[in-house]
A and B are shown apart, each in its own frame.
Chain A
Amino acid sequence: MAGKRSIRDARAGRLMFFMTSACALIVVFMAAGLLIKSFPVLRANSPAQILFSDSWSPLKGEFGMLAFIAGTVWVTGLSALIAMPVSLFSAIYLSEYAPSWLRKISRPFMDVLAGIPSVVFGVWGILIIVPLVRDCIAPFFGVYSSGYSILAASIVLAVMVFPIIIQITIEVFHSIPGELRDASLSLGATKWQTIKLVLLRKALPGIIAANVLGFSRAFGETMAVLMVAGNIPAIPHSPLDAGYPLPALIANNYGEMLSIPLYDSALMLAALVLFLIVIMFNLLSRYILSRINLRAA
């Protein structure tokens, strides 16, 4: 009888192994598929031309993607700049200062915020943020902007990643044992000194992980960004310029412009480049995390 049970046991183990490897293999297949599909355009243009040239003229067979890469980096970078301090301080407030009733009602509120479809964020961006940039922020700096800009996209994106980063950062603070707070407070430290000198240090790896998770999503966010970014294929020189991030390029043109030779292959390559940017970002943050853990251990 025991034989039957152990066979089942082994079978269950193997089944789970297959499921797991299937999930992992999808990533490999996806990358391979994109690579194969982008061979034609890579044959016509050198990788350097594609990565470091900003001349995007599909009709002339020129597929320089620098403007789109720059657009992606601008939008994500600026939204990180906006979102990181705000979400960090909100998380600190909610986990360390807020009374428990406020903590309790803030949770479902943020769950809702995280669940709003990105197209709704896009509409909100067009209705509120774009006019704000056009009528208030750009005139303040004495420049003209249509409002459809890197800045508008970054603000919308920042609001979209807030709930993810805040929630995880709160979890990180909660995982710090209360006794560590007690230890610092009992030495006569104020609450702020305790947070600044002890808790932040302890939480740093977790906070970085929270932000990485948030911005891995931000890199690929398509809908809301393409609705407010302006989508002009030129390298932006200021946050008030329009930008054209990679996901927007792919979503706007796939299925539309495929009569132009090599266009679909170029879009596949754009997807591959996006893929690689996200992977590089993840590897870099992993490296930083391991350095911090090494120092803290």
Chain B
Amino acid sequence: MKETSHLRTENLTVSYGGAEALKNINVEIPEKQITAIIGPSGCGKSTLLKSFNRLLEENDGVKISGRVLVDGADIYSDSEDITCIRKKMGLLSQRPYPLPMSIYDNIAFGPRIHGMKKKAGLDRLVEKYLSLAGLWDEVKDRLNEPASRLSIGQQQRLCLARGLAVEPEIILADEPTSALDPKSSQKIEEEFKKLKSDYTIIIVTHILRQARRLADYVLFIYLGELIEHGPSRQIFESPREQVTREYIQGVIS
């Protein structure tokens, strides 16, 4: 396990204005697999996800203690450049939020802010990542249209492509299909299955069937505590804890 862990937390505790949202989380996320974080609403799933790329600290009154290590380096240490940490991780949120610009510029945004200027290079990247997110054929003739004209499902794949374009190692997805229709959801799930050969994917979901379909590794969080974690099969078929079993059987939700 040790050699293949990509991201690891040590005693991670997060509190909002005094109330603890996450308590003492210790977990290792395996590399190049899909890890699902499951648990009821409001139990800290998204908080855990956002602590991985330091987006949490943008909010007022958040206290974070403990460590989050990516490739062995503590991302909360002062010597780390926050933009480099975030660049390592692509984020996919619940609803797609395309940037207020054209489809092309949405993809080119990341590479541009990291210093890429050449049109030919950008063109190549835009095509590469739109193709990787399975969107290229649908938008190649209208790259200069505002991204907001795409359907919600297309927008979510655009956001995926946008995140991939900064060449991250990890994809963080916060209930990425919750605003999408079943067909679009299915497309996103298919993308994830394809992408896991190259990326470590962490997905927050409250859809158990989705976790079952996608995940190789599962974290179950309940009321801010990591109740148990392990390979998907083990969690779904023989959970160790009573509360995990009840959640999976639908007794609690």
Note all chain A residues with C-beta closer than 8 A to B114. 188
**Of the candidates A99, A177, A186, A189, which one forms a contact with B53 in the assembled complex, judged by CB atoms under 8 Å apart?**
A186
Note all chain B residues with C-beta closer than 8 A to A295. 146
Chain B residues 73 to 114 lying within 8 A of chain A, measured CB to CB, are 83-84, 86-87, 89-91, 93-95, 97, 99-101, 109-110, 113-114
Interface mask (A162-199 → B, CB under 8 Å = 1, otherwise 0): 00000000000000011111111111111001000110
Q: Among A177, A179, A198, A201, which residue has the most Cβ atoms of chain B within 10 A?
A: A179
Is the CB of B166 closer than 8 A to any CB of chain A? yes
Are A189 and B148 interface neighbours, CB within 8 A? no
Are A188 and B86 interface neighbours, CB within 8 A? yes
**Of the candidates A178, A185, A296, which one forms a contact with B86 in the assembled complex, judged by CB atoms under 8 Å apart?**
A185
Are A201 and B100 interface neighbours, CB within 8 A? yes
B149–chain A nearest beta-carbon distance, Å: 7
Note all chain A residues with C-beta closer than 8 A to B113. 187-190, 193, 197
A268–chain B nearest beta-carbon distance, Å: 46
Note all chain B residues with C-beta closer than 8 A to A184. 99, 109
Is the CB of B60 closer than 8 A to any CB of chain A? yes
Are A198 and B86 interface neighbours, CB within 8 A? no
Are B93 and A189 interface neighbours, CB within 8 A? no
Note all chain B residues with C-beta closer than 8 A to A201. 99-101
Is the CB of A100 closer than 8 A to any CB of chain B? yes
Is the CB of A37 closer than 8 A to any CB of chain B? no
Are A296 and B162 interface neighbours, CB within 8 A? no
Are B97 and A296 interface neighbours, CB within 8 A? no
Interface mask (A258-297 → B, CB under 8 Å = 1, otherwise 0): 0000000000000000000000000000000000000111
A297–chain B nearest beta-carbon distance, Å: 6
**Of the candidates A182, A190, A197, A202, which one forms a contact with B93 in the assembled complex, judged by CB atoms under 8 Å apart?**
A182
A295 CA / B147 CA spacing, docked (Å): 11
A188 CA / B87 CA spacing, docked (Å): 5
B177–chain A nearest beta-carbon distance, Å: 16
Number of interface residues of A (CB under 8 A): 24
Note all chain A residues with C-beta closer than 8 A to B172. 186
Note all chain B residues with C-beta closer than 8 A to A198. 99-100
Note all chain A residues with C-beta closer than 8 A to B84. 188
Are B146 and A100 interface neighbours, CB within 8 A? no
Note all chain B residues with C-beta closer than 8 A to A188. 83-84, 86-87, 110, 113-114, 166
Are A187 and B55 interface neighbours, CB within 8 A? no
B130–chain A nearest beta-carbon distance, Å: 16
Is the CB of B30 closer than 8 A to any CB of chain A? no
Q: A181-B58, A201-B101 are in contact. Are A187 and B93 (CB under 8 A)?
A: no
A189 CA / B109 CA spacing, docked (Å): 9
A293 CA / B114 CA spacing, docked (Å): 29
Is the CB of B159 closer than 8 A to any CB of chain A? yes
Are A185 and B58 interface neighbours, CB within 8 A? yes
A198 CA / B147 CA spacing, docked (Å): 13
Interface mask (B40-76 → A, CB under 8 Å = 1, otherwise 0): 0000000000100101001011000000000000000
A252 CA / B60 CA spacing, docked (Å): 52
Are A187 and B101 interface neighbours, CB within 8 A? no
Q: A100-B60, A188-B87, A193-B113 are in contact. Are A183 and B99 (CB under 8 A)?
A: yes
Are A197 and B163 interface neighbours, CB within 8 A? no
Are B162 and A187 interface neighbours, CB within 8 A? yes
Binding site for B on A (CB under 8 A): 99-100, 177-190, 193, 197-198, 201-202, 295-297
The 7 nearest A-B residue pairs measured at CB: A188-B87, A186-B91, A187-B110, A188-B83, A202-B100, A179-B97, A201-B100
For the complex with contacts A182-B58, A189-B83, A197-B113, 15 further pairs of A-B residues with Cβ separation under 8 Å are A177-B97, A180-B99, A182-B55, A183-B162, A185-B55, A185-B86, A186-B89, A187-B113, A187-B162, A187-B163, A188-B113, A189-B109, A190-B113, A198-B100, A296-B146
Binding site for A on B (CB under 8 A): 50, 53, 55, 58, 60-61, 83-84, 86-87, 89-91, 93-95, 97, 99-101, 109-110, 113-114, 146, 148-149, 159, 162-163, 166, 172
